[in-house]
Amino acid sequence: MIRRLWKKEKDGSLEEQVALVQEGDEELQNHLIKKYQPFIAKSVSEVCKRYIDPTKDDEFSIGLMAFNEAMHSYSADKGSSFLSFAKLVVKRKVIDYIRYDRNNPVVASLDQEYEDDEQMENPQEVKAAKERYQSETESWYRRIEIQDFSEKLKEFKLSFQELTEVAPKHRDARESAIHVARTVYHHEEMKTFVLEKRKLPMKQLINEVEVSKKTLERNRKFVLAIFIILNEDYVYLKDYIKGVGL
């Protein structure tokens, strides 16, 4: 068995191994779950902000199940690596668990505050309490998405600081750049080029959009950043660009 698993790892990438799991290779599935336990523990720890003991912490068990779920729901066509996708799934599942784990002191206090507010006679106070609770939940997800987005930017040799400096200042210019990113994302050949080369196919792109080469060069980093958002499973970051027809 060990020799078979070693051969599968040697002959195929992690993404190819995940594809075998999706085809029903339970032996490989169990092997990958065991092999990537340190990765899972680290991902869970980033959410919980503390050391995670795989033998004691329930959050780790949630992470294991989420990693397994990620193996079965991963799609290489989206362009992101499996580990990037798995980390996002693990973190989201752990966040859901924490939010609804009434034994968690922080969450319990928030839930109790919410329940106390439900007893209020003033409808406006009840509404405000519900909105505050929802806001807390959404902030968790946004933070995880931003962390993952930051890692993706590094793969393209970009950073948040750069984006603040190069982002178009005028709305029309931003919308034009977002349109360019959407054109690249929906064009299979150009999309593949970006995912493989980590840069824009400038020569081909000039013929696909009504934007000058000079403008494309100036907004290159911003366009790449928007492309990353389009290509990933970012619910809240996509809100940033949905106003232009995402």
Domain ranges of the chain: 2-155, 160-244
Give residue-wise pLDDT tens across range 120-163: 445 555 455 555 555 655 676 677 788 888 888 998 999 988 88
Q: Give a three-class secondary structure readout of 95-109.
A: HHHHHHCCCCHHHHH
Q: Give the tokens for residue 77.
A: 């066509």
pLDDT given for residue 208 in this prediction: 92
Residue 3: the pLDDT is 52
Higher local confidence (pLDDT), 124 or 201: 201
The mean pLDDT value for 185-212 works out to: 93
Whole-model pTM?
0.55
pLDDT the model gives residue 52: 86
CA distances from 134 to 114, 119, 124, 211 (A): 10, 18, 15, 41
- Report the candidate in 179, 155, 177, 156 with the shortest Cα–Cα distance to residue 166: 177
Q: Crossing angle of helices 105-118/123-155, nearest 10°?
A: 150
Confidence of residue 108 (pLDDT cuts 50, 70, 90): very low
Query: For residue range 77-103, what is the model confidence (pLDDT) as tens digits?
Result: 776 788 988 988 898 888 888 876 645
Which tokens belong to 37?
């336990």
Residue 62 has pLDDT above 90, yes or no: yes
pLDDT for 123 equals 57
Given this model, what pLDDT does residue 176 score?
93
